[in-house]
Structure 1
């Protein structure tokens, strides 16, 4: 059995010639690819999303200022329906706001603009923003596609310092170099902070089962971890644990353990030297644990974890939530427009009714005055007929009054 050379062990047993130089590492259960409801935001960092939001507001405000300046310099403003110039100004103001927001958002999301900008200023601003939005869209789609094809797995920890910042326990066999380093560490070191997470026992089968089950991590020589990974992958075809990138002790001399009364120590050391000179020991180490190389690759693809994850409904919930929010806002605006439109229509009908009554009263007064004039004309005609004008009778007098 190969163990690391320590002073305490050397007091009890003898060690053979050095077989190889090993290093200590920490292994933990390999994380799986899971669904991400906000995965569509991952292609850009938070700082870039904030920059895009600020740039959108700036472009929208700039476009609105250009449109307002064109409106102020041109004679295209017309008075409102009631002849008030202020109504025309308000109408033009709202139209400028609508056009600036529509141009900015449509260019950003790659949608056609229903109306082309008028004037060189809006066209230059819109063209620059359209080019910037095109670059952002291409980069976003490329990163999103790359994340779907080659997803990134988030590790629980990858260094000793990160392990101390979690609540994950770690199994350390009693008496190995890591255990001694933790017990001798000063309070300001990362090894000392591992004391509250340390599980110490010598039940190797139990510790191995709990490590692969994800109950705790393990600190062990790298050769031992690679052997367990190779054995698991050879039997199940899956990589169940990963090894952090940081190594704890990189120059640990490993040798065979024997009793102090062993009388074949000289011949054994001579055979070990010959095997090392011909490279046989290193060859046996690499060939016997060949399958472990697949599990020691970086966790950058789902192939390395032994399984391919298909997209499920959770991956689309984020985009669907944004779409549903847009539909909800649009429906609310539509209902608001209907309510306001009916109120305006009701007010218009009331105004038209009041105007009709005024016109009706005015018309009745005109009819009464016209009737009075006609009666006066008839009296004059009858009087003319009574003073000897024989040719003017009732029959030819009435048509003259109408």
Structure 2
């Protein structure tokens, strides 16, 4: 046998973007195959300018675009994002162009009772588009579409408004815990009677004779020490409170028992008041914040509301079909809103927004941070349902393997991590640029905010409440004295 044998294959995307015949290779008995290429791989390494139609949803930083019409389902204009970078690289390598559009129902897609899917998944399942871009790979979806390898693994979490400071009227009592206050009250109440018992049981004279001969009222008014036997039980109890208020005792002790008791009491008062002052200053300068929620269990047991995006994706499918008790409990009270409405509810407080972590990182630095990267939004610590993101193709699609190899090359080159880092930085820099225009008008306020702040009425409201309460109590005592005719 002699001569040359030419091999041709069926080209799905040849000239004029139609099905045609493509030359593959030639074979001769002497030299064998001349081009020595992988014939099967060559079929889908060049699409000859074919226009692919891809369906996707807006989910920055993975996918970002601008709508050409207000209604969902229309063609979109791609913007710089992770999957758009991958798509452009694939278009350059495989020689094709593309059209991006949204699914008609504006949903990622969830499984219906009849076995069909809505949204992006349903569009690919019915072959109404050539492939979809970023889509969460789940076990249920693999029965409807074919996925590429996952190029990004992403966990879910939730965000809430950062906790604010607790009411400052509680500042005077915050330095000590409630059990400490109770112990301090008990010790103070019993210290007076104990000292009074020492006064009565000891035979020693505790004061100078010439000072004790002076009238009692005159001695008290002049601040001179008086004889302990002339003190009443109530006066001794009141005198024991003086060290707690930073005041000296009005009497001088001579007995060893009295000196020992009072020395220990004054030392105890010195330590207690020193610790209280230091802790009070800390509470006033750095107010304690309200407790935070970091787990789904804490969220489910709280009295706040929670919700997720109304695009009904894999997150919706997870909570809808899960038999895990905490997921079932959360799904019963789940709310569904768009991105902007969800974040507005978070900023108002009392609402938790459940979605993907990188998605939160991006929108927080892009839309909800000031030029100093400060934000009022807090990402919870718990991460759950880590899922992979990939592209989906209709079942039996001949293109899946070519795109799968491309994803592998991009992952091995480290481009995914680098691109994600760049995109988050671009979102942050865009947020900084958008807020810089107003920086000149607020510079004075920012300078004041960054400087040392003086205490305001807000910080000292607890002190004023104590003062008003003391005045009220004194007024009630005065009324009682007048009523009972027992003025002292």
Query: TM range, normalised to the smaller chain?
Result: 0.5 to 0.7
Separation in structure 1 between the aligned mates of residue 404 and residue 159 of structure 2, nearest angstrom: 32
- The residue number in structure 1 matching 2:61 is none
Q: Counterparts of 1:249-264 in structure 2 under 5 Å?
A: 249=385, 251-260=386-395, 263-264=398-399
Q: How many residues align?
A: 316
Separation in structure 2 between the aligned mates of residue 204 and residue 331 of structure 1, nearest angstrom: 57
SS of alignment partner, residue 38 of structure 1:
helix
**Residues 162/136 of structure 1: CA separation in 2 closer, same or farther (3 Å cut):** same
User: Superposition RMSD on alpha carbons, in Å?
Assistant: 4.0
Q: Is the 8 Å Cα contact of residues 307 and 353 (structure 2) preserved in structure 1?
A: yes
State whether structure 2 residue 277 is matched by structure 1 residue 141.
yes
Normalized per residue, the structure richer in helix is: 1
Unaligned runs of 5+ in 1: 82-90, 293-302, 345-402
Q: Is the 8 Å Cα contact of residues 3 and 255 (structure 1) preserved in structure 2?
A: yes
Q: Is the 8 Å Cα contact of residues 167 and 197 (structure 1) preserved in structure 2?
A: no
Query: Residue 40 of structure 1: CA displacement?
Result: 1.8
**Residues 124/66 of structure 1: CA separation in 2 closer, same or farther (3 Å cut):** same
SS of alignment partner, residue 7 of structure 1:
coil
SS of alignment partner, residue 315 of structure 1:
coil
Which of 433, 447, 460 is the equivalent residue of 1:316?
A: 460
Separation in structure 2 between the aligned mates of residue 338 and residue 121 of structure 1, nearest angstrom: 41
Cα deviation code 1:189-223 (max 9, x no counterpart): 2222223421246x445444444444732211111
**Residues 180/331 of structure 1: CA separation in 2 closer, same or farther (3 Å cut):** closer
Separation in structure 1 between the aligned mates of residue 331 and residue 280 of structure 2, nearest angstrom: 42
SS of alignment partner, residue 157 of structure 2:
strand
Separation in structure 2 between the aligned mates of residue 310 and residue 257 of structure 1, nearest angstrom: 59
Separation in structure 1 between the aligned mates of residue 230 and residue 140 of structure 2, nearest angstrom: 85
- The residue number in structure 1 matching 2:322 is 184
Q: Is the 8 Å Cα contact of residues 35 and 311 (structure 1) preserved in structure 2?
A: no
SS of alignment partner, residue 58 of structure 1:
helix
**Residues 226/264 of structure 1: CA separation in 2 closer, same or farther (3 Å cut):** same
Cα deviation code 1:344-392 (max 9, x no counterpart): 9xxxxxxxxxxxxxxxxxxxxxxxxxxxxxxxxxxxxxxxxxxxxxxxx
Query: Residue 337 of structure 1: CA displacement?
Result: 7.8
Which of 249, 256, 279 is the equivalent residue of 2:414?
A: 279
Q: Is the 8 Å Cα contact of residues 169 and 465 (structure 2) preserved in structure 1?
A: no
Unaligned runs of 5+ in 2: 1-132, 216-226, 429-445
Separation in structure 1 between the aligned mates of residue 473 and residue 248 of structure 2, nearest angstrom: 21
- The residue number in structure 1 matching 2:58 is none
- The residue number in structure 1 matching 2:334 is 198
Normalized per residue, the structure richer in strand is: 2
State whether structure 2 residue 213 is matched by structure 1 residue 51.
no
SS of alignment partner, residue 111 of structure 1:
coil
- The residue number in structure 2 matching 1:106 is 242
Separation in structure 2 between the aligned mates of residue 216 and residue 15 of structure 1, nearest angstrom: 35
Separation in structure 2 between the aligned mates of residue 143 and residue 267 of structure 1, nearest angstrom: 66
Separation in structure 1 between the aligned mates of residue 189 and residue 283 of structure 2, nearest angstrom: 29
- The residue number in structure 1 matching 2:377 is 241
Cα deviation code 1:63-122 (max 9, x no counterpart): 222122126x7699x9xx9xxxxxxxxx97771424532342111222222223342222
State whether structure 2 residue 326 is matched by structure 1 residue 154.
no
Which of 287, 301, 304 is the equivalent residue of 1:168?
A: 304
- The residue number in structure 1 matching 2:258 is 122
State whether structure 2 residue 358 is matched by structure 1 residue 228.
no
TM-score (norm 2): 0.55
- The residue number in structure 1 matching 2:403 is 268
Q: Is the 8 Å Cα contact of residues 153 and 387 (structure 2) preserved in structure 1?
A: yes
Separation in structure 2 between the aligned mates of residue 68 and residue 22 of structure 1, nearest angstrom: 77
Separation in structure 2 between the aligned mates of residue 327 and residue 205 of structure 1, nearest angstrom: 50
Q: Counterparts of 1:87-106 in structure 2 under 5 Å?
A: 95-106=231-242
Separation in structure 1 between the aligned mates of residue 184 and residue 267 of structure 2, nearest angstrom: 14
SS of alignment partner, residue 185 of structure 1:
coil
Query: Residue 49 of structure 1: CA displacement?
Result: 1.1
Q: Counterparts of 1:375-394 in structure 2 under 5 Å?
A: none
The runs of 4+ residues in structure 1 deviating greater than 6 Å are 73-76, 91-94, 306-310, 331-344
